[in-house]
Structure 1
Amino acid sequence: MRILIIEDEIIIARFIEQQLKANFNCEVTIALNHREVKRAIPSFIPHLILCDINLHEENDGINLIQELQKEYAFGVIYITSYQSKSIIERALTTRPLNYIIKPVDESNIFAGIKLVESAISSHTTFGMRKLMKPTFNHIESKIIYLILQKKNTKEIATLLFLSPYTIKNYRHRICRKLSLKDENNALLKWALQNEDLID
């Protein structure tokens, strides 16, 4: 798991990094400001971002996360001293996995990440650039829609009046378009997580 810490106080950032490396199997990178985030993220592409909200810059951590979410898929946990209802509601628009209140210690960092670790590892698109809306032909679109309805290859073949072998070929082609491993449920997971991209 690749974790990016966005925190403008280096002592806090190093403490969080130390706790992560001691308790989780992960690679960690620290960014102290927007400029460092923009420099680090294209090559690091994190599965999880731990982000302070107050970065002492014009744009805060919530705005930065909103900007990054346009191009990258990742989970986010805010680590902040902000506890006001309005800030929390703004943070919720980015669908964070957790919200940890400062001051941080070993136990709340461990619990905050351990509670969402399985959600991060099961999310097939975390740690990837977001795909632009993929282009599918008519039959591919129908197949993806039926996969989303939890239909298996045989059922899809019957509904589309095609052979199961043909459907398997289409599924393989769709997986290649999406850079997915051609394995059981990979396409279903993708469809469930990207329902908004499916016509």
Structure 2
Amino acid sequence: MTQVLIVEDEFIIAKFIEKQIKNHFQCETAIAITVAEAVAEMERLKPDLLLCDINLGAGYSGIDLVNQLQQSYRFEVIYITSYNSKDIIEDAISSGAANYIIKPVDEMQLFAGMRLAISKIKSKKAHNSAAAALTPSEQRIVSLIGMRKSTNEIAELMHLSRYTIKNQRHKICVKLGLKDENNALLKWVLEQRELK
């Protein structure tokens, strides 16, 4: 189940967003009206997705809050705001926004933004659980592949035969559900970097 934190200083809007989410998705939700509540809920809920207003009142910026929270937590973020300035949108993108929805919140815009973000979250979780099944030796091989080392170079670095490395690469592909192609592992590693 996806954990969602709604950070919105207008309670009625926050409840509307929460209702729309619960109508369309299986999610555990929480609402934070203030920055202090948002920080406390992050610790309690550890959400996968943050829906965050940019103007949080009292001079607080949702973008600044997200940047602060990203130092301690991993999550996707969708900004929901009345700001439609190109500079603010660029700042939101720089903070890693999965989407940007301009108020007033439209049910289908929210559905589309949520659907894309949840799909990305599920993909990350699937990749992370597959990667966790790798042995330390397999993880080292994957790391070296990420450095664009060839099978021969990996064999030399690990003091193993190239045939052992080829067999290990095959086993890793099986564990990760990849086709056993020349660049399958490299493509997977590059995708992992993009998902982080």
Which TM-score applies when normalising by structure 2? 0.72
* Equivalent in the alignment of 2:131: none
Q: What RMSD over aligned residues (CA atoms) do the two structures have, in Å?
A: 3.9
Which has the larger Rg? 2
Query: In the TM superposition, what whole-angstrom CA distance separates every residue of 1:25-75 from its partner, at most 9, and x where no partner exists?
Result: 111111111110111111211111000000003321000000011111111
Matched, 1:69 2:70: yes
8 A Cα contact 1:2 1:27, kept in partner: yes
SS in 2 for 1:72: coil
Q: Which has the higher helix share?
A: 2
Counterpart Cα distance in 1 of 2:91 and 2:80: 14
Give the CA deviation at 1:146.
Answer: 1.9
Query: In the TM superposition, what whole-angstrom CA distance separates every residue of 1:139-193 from its partner, at most 9, and x where no partner exists?
Result: 898534323257899994576332749x97xxx9xxxxxxxxxx527x9867754
Counterpart Cα distance in 1 of 2:54 and 2:71: 18
Give ranges in structure 1 of 5+ residues lacking alignment.
Answer: 126-136, 173-182
8 A Cα contact 1:79 1:101, kept in partner: yes
* Equivalent in the alignment of 2:47: 46
8 A Cα contact 2:9 2:33, kept in partner: yes
Give the CA deviation at 1:121.
Answer: 1.2
* Equivalent in the alignment of 1:129: none
Counterpart Cα distance in 1 of 2:26 and 2:100: 21
Give the CA deviation at 1:99.
Answer: 0.4
Report the more deviating stretch, 38-47 or 116-125: 116-125
Q: Percent identity?
A: 47
Counterpart Cα distance in 1 of 2:95 and 2:142: 27
* Equivalent in the alignment of 2:60: 59
8 A Cα contact 1:80 1:100, kept in partner: yes
The structure with higher relative contact order (CA 8 Å, sep 6+) is: 1
